[in-house]
Amino acid sequence: MDTETLQHVALFDKCRQFTKAREVEAAGLYPYFKPISESEDTVVTIEGKKRIMLGSNNYLGLTHHPKVLEAATRALHRYGSGCTGSRFLNGTLDLHGQLEGALAEFLGKESCLVFSTGYNANVGLISGLVGRGDVVFLDKLDHASIVDGAKMSFGETERFNHGDLANLERKLDRNSGKPTMIVVDGVYSMEGDIADIPGLSRVARKFGAALAVDDAHALGVLGPDGDGTAAHFGMVDDVDIIAGTFSKSLASIGGFVAAPEQVIHYLRHHSRPLIFTASLPPSNTAGVIAALEVLRTEADRRERLWTNARYLQDGLRSLGFEIGPTETPIVPVLIGPMEKTFVMWRRLFDAGVFTNPVTPPAVPPAQCRLRTSVMATHTLDQIDFCLEAFGTIGRELGVV
């Protein structure tokens, strides 16, 4: 169907009328879908130029770890390139069982279920458990996968103000008598702050609600052994369900839900994203198993990650940037207006620093930001290079 024919299809009117991205692209400020032609851990090649990657969720720097690459390569040759079916039917490998057992033990839960993506894990968890007559309570800054899981469920959804336990209690009280679940991010992906697990647990127990935590940005980062937000507070037994992804600290793709065995057994037979999606490929699964082992045995990586996180936070604050309430390696740099944010992104990109611009609807119009994040494998020299670029460009643009 050509463009002329498209003009006669009413459904496509919205496509023709969507011009904002093309306008930004024409101005040379479009920051998305930038093809990476080569990656060397903390340095990537884009448009023929090497740039320091300051926008990756590769917190422990494991995407290039030799043990991870070796495990993935072995599995590729042993099992082939894909499973060609869902976990429910022909797509379950012994590797999936090994990974589920290792994760359950690591997180202190009875059982675990591996999904093909972190997005599917949250959607499958919430839509699988929350049915008619049930209510799910979401923090207003929860990840989109949590929101979409609630939308796809047959239950009701209530959203409470970010971190506002009093607001949550009022909403739970209004729904007294209904089966309920509270779902929060362990670490919020655009702010870098940590959920109040002690307070949430107290509220959940008061109202008999299940408490689920998405540890996408906490696994490998928080906890005495990198074992997440609940462990960070010493409250593993107080969090009923832990979900997460393999696409960050575990250097691959995929997701999981860890919970009591009966909950996992139920999800195996009721979670549509699990039943109707091809399973995680062998090389990815083996790579995650290896990455989890590295996470557990190389604690110095997490120490370096926190050293780098504090170094970047202190450096940006000393330059006069506003980075909000972040407590983690996620460091948002508040810029303000969208246009200035895109200009700042472009100037940094040209200077050799890759960041992620965050604009509406992810944040309010006046709170646009550049989301930065550090890895354990960044050198202090690399962070200094980024800070110098931020300082010079920020002063020129009047951000600081």
User: Which active-site residues does the annotation give?
Assistant: 189, 217, 248
DSSP calls for 2-46: -HHHHTT-GGGHHHHH--HHHHHHHTT---SSPPEEEEETTEEEE
5/398 Cα distance (integer angstroms): 47
Instruction: Determine the Cα–Cα distance for residues 200 and 214; give it in Å rounded to an integer.
Output: 13
Give me the amino acid identity at 117: T
Residue type, position 199, single letter: G
Q: Assign 142 to helix, strand or coil.
A: coil
Strand pairing report for 156-160 and 135-139: parallel
Tokens of 149: 């899981």
Count of alpha carbons within 13 angstroms of residue 376, beta-carbon side: 25
Instruction: Single out the residue of 102, 106, 98 nearest to residue 236, CA to CA.
Output: 106
For residue 361, cis peptide bond before it (omega within 30 degrees of 0)? yes
Reading the block at residue 92, the tokens are 């379950």
Distance, in Å, from the CA atom of 22 to the CA atom of 273, rounded to the nearest integer, reads 33
